[in-house]
Structure 1
Amino acid sequence: MIRAKAKDAKFIGTSIGGAKILVKDAVTGNILAEGMTAGSTGNTDKIMKQDWKRSEDLSEDDTAGFNASLDIDKPTFVTIEAYAPVNKKQAEVMSSTQLWVIPGKDITRDGVVLEVPGFVVDILSPQTHERINSTDKIELKANVVMMCGCPITKDGIWDANQYEVKAIVTNSDGDSKEVVLDQKDKPSTFQADLNLEKGLYEVMIYAYDPVSGNTGLDKTNFIVN
């Protein structure tokens, strides 16, 4: 059993597209098994609110994972890689570990758990290559969620007050300004407004958690006429 768990959050499963898992012979690089994690993100109370004890499983029967079956006839040293979240390429990272697998010796329950750090950041506005009048306010808006898809809200389990979400807006001359984005009406949605002179711009929006060290970023380009 192989699972991918978002750092400071829950398991990466079907709701966000899953994690791509590769099990490789560490010496030859041959792929011995591959697949996707599928299932739920897990029990929120157990994972995020309760104290953990040694040998206590965080997973339950429906918790996301990939059950790999290896055809080996001798002990084999393997590399396990998780690419997640696989459907969000700007956020996808690779987490890996290595271990010996022994014929006939199953690894079950929580199994091998790979931690996946970061945030998923999606810029919602401005749209890619959007043309905006210089007389109009420019809306900066991004969706920010944990790597498992868990929502971010003020005073929630994943508290928007704890996270720093900012836009770095850079013109074609290389001049930049930073703008703070705030989570207001809609969960996981951070936004701010600004005015800009005519020109070509790149915007990067990042999220940072000073407690866990999680980071995430998305970027795009737009035009002010």
Structure 2
Amino acid sequence: MYRLLFILSFLYLPTQAFSQETSVMIRAKAKDAKFIGSSIGGAKVLVKETLTGKILAEGITTGSTGNTEKIMKLDHKRGVDLSDNETAGFLAKLEIDEPKFVTVEVFGPVNKKQAVVLSSTQLWVIPGKNITGDGIVLEIPGFIVDILSPQTHERIDASAKIKLAANVVMMCGCPVTEDGIWDAHQYEVKAVITGQNDSKKEIELEQKEKASTFTAEVNLEKGLYELLIYAYDPLTGNTGVDKTNIIIN
């Protein structure tokens, strides 16, 4: 009798008693560039149970952008990791007692609100079966574009030359330079200036002196204007945009 009770009590133990910590490495990689890590503020990671939406793990990718030579210059071979121990990622530690079908969402780069992109995937995670090395790598397309000049809501005299300036970098923060790995000549960077009467003027910006900084000059008549600056790579399809408003007196 006692033996039977012992067996029954074992069978009805809470399933949590059999849960196992399972590690899943998650990384965010900028399209045509490197990994999104600490230098740009990282990418926000959410691991959710797909059917219920319950968050199983969340965090920020931290670490370096990775080895430039390995990522951008060498041929990639099957079974060889692009990452190393210093490369940015988030190690999700899941307490699960049965295989879980999960959704992984990555928002990056999380600190650049006008540029942040959501990339997601789904997979089965099995208790005790860790996913390490490169792990789950989610691609983040685009450019980060920050308008540097003119400033938001700046009042400018109509007789003055208006300097247009924007900082353009890859989603990992990697610099855009003339004839560099990320070649400024490859990208189209333009300002679209819209007036109150919906008149539009397009001006091409160029990177000349400071890395990642594209500039041009323009004259505008009195009025209120919206300024949009975009970057576009015709080879990869990467795009990025920033907007502001100015007043010409």
The bucket for the TM-score relative to the shorter chain is over 0.9
Report the Cα offset of residue 101 of structure 1.
0.2
Hey, which bits of structure 1, 4+ residues long, moved more than 4 A?
none
Aligned counterparts of 1:174 and 1:84: Cα–Cα separation in 2 = 33
Among 201, 209, 216, the residue aligned to 1:192: 216
**Structure 1 segment 85-100 matched on structure 2, within 5 A:** 85-100=109-124
- Tell me the distance in 1 between the aligned counterparts of 2:126 and 2:133: 17
Q: Per-residue CA shift, 1:13-69, capped at 9, x if unaligned? A: 000000000000000000000000000000000000000000110001100000000
> What's the CA shift string for 1:128-177, capped at 9, x where partnerless?
00000000001110000000000000100000000000000000111001
* Local SS of the residue matching 1:46: helix
Structure 2 CA distance for aligned equivalents of residues 87 and 137 of structure 1: 32
What residue is the counterpart of 1:209 in the other structure? 233
Aligned to 1:152: 176
Which residue number in structure 2 is paired with residue 121 of structure 1?
145
Aligned partner of residue 206 in structure 1, secondary structure: strand
- The corresponding residue for 1:104 is 128
Which one has a bigger Cα radius of gyration? Answer: 2
Q: Which amino acid aligns with 2:201?
A: K
Which residue is equivalent to 2:17? Answer: none
Q: Which protein is richer in helix relative to its size?
A: 2
For 1:180, the equivalent position in structure 2 comes to 204
TM value normalised by structure 1: 1.00
For 2:27, the equivalent position in structure 1 comes to 3
Identity, % of aligned positions: 72
Structure 2 match to 1:49: 73
Q: Which runs of 5+ in 1 are unaligned?
A: none
State yes or no: 1:143 paired with 2:167. Answer: yes
Alpha-carbon distance in 2 for matches of 1:161, 1:29: 44
CA distance in 2 between counterparts of 1:140 and 1:173 reads: 21
TM-score, length-scaled by structure 2: 0.90
| Distance in 2 (alpha carbons) for counterparts of 1:191 and 1:55 | 43
Structure 2: how far apart are the matches of 1:24 and 1:172? 46
